Amino acid sequence: MRRLIPLALALLFFAPASGEAQPRFLVSGGFTGPMGDLSDVADAGYHGQVGLFVQLPTIPVGLRGDGAVHKLGSGDALLADTQILAGSLSVVYHLPGISLVPYFLVGIGSYQTESGPAGAAAKTTDAGFHGGFGVNFGTGGLGAFAEIRLVQINGDPGSTRFIPLSFGLRL
């Protein structure tokens, strides 16, 4: 029993200051709206996303990695549906709040886009960036969030932009 007391004290000393410092698994989905040139060849669609968020101790900043699949339909029978696979890393800044915690996020990512004529769609992989705003609901273990982002993929010959609106769970 005497050996367990120093071990318990060491665990308390080295444990994160709050439960928010623990990694959180995120799962979400929602609406994806094309913008600019993308809206000429693709209709609004949907997406699914998974992520991992880690809050940095003692400051309102965290890091978040996400993977997403966006599917945008085509109103033209000669064009294939547009699909975008995304992997991104974001810095998240939380504003003060108790059960409703707003946040801003900004980050970079790699995006693989598959689009083009039906039956002969081409894949391209380009870098891009995003920025957005969201709100976390609830405290403790299980919570929810809603967020909106503006994503720009810098490709050749031009850039691709879309807006994902996501609703999800923090586990």
The model's pTM is 0.83
99's CB contacts (< 8 A; 6+ apart) are: 137, 138, 139
The predicted model gives 154-161 an average pLDDT of: 85
Closest CA to 107 of 62, 144, 146, 142: 62
Q: Between 18 and 94, whose confidence is greater? A: 94
Least confident span in 18-22, 100-104, 112-116: 18-22
- 19-52 pLDDT, tens digit per residue, is 446 799 999 999 999 998 888 889 999 999 999 9
- 18-170 — its CATH code? 2.40.160.20
Q: pLDDT by residue (tens digit) across 118-144?
A: 888 889 999 999 999 999 998 666 899
Query: How much is the pLDDT for 159?
Result: 87
What is the rounded distance in angstroms from the CA atom of residue 81 to the CA atom of residue 170? 30
How does pLDDT run across 51-82, given as a tens digit for each residue?
A: 999 988 888 999 999 999 999 998 787 888 99
Please state whether 37 falls in left (phi above 0), alpha (psi between -120 and 50) or beta.
alpha
**Mean pLDDT across 91-103:** 90
pLDDT of residue 40: 85
Instruction: Give the integer Cα–Cα distance in Å for 66 and 25.
Output: 10
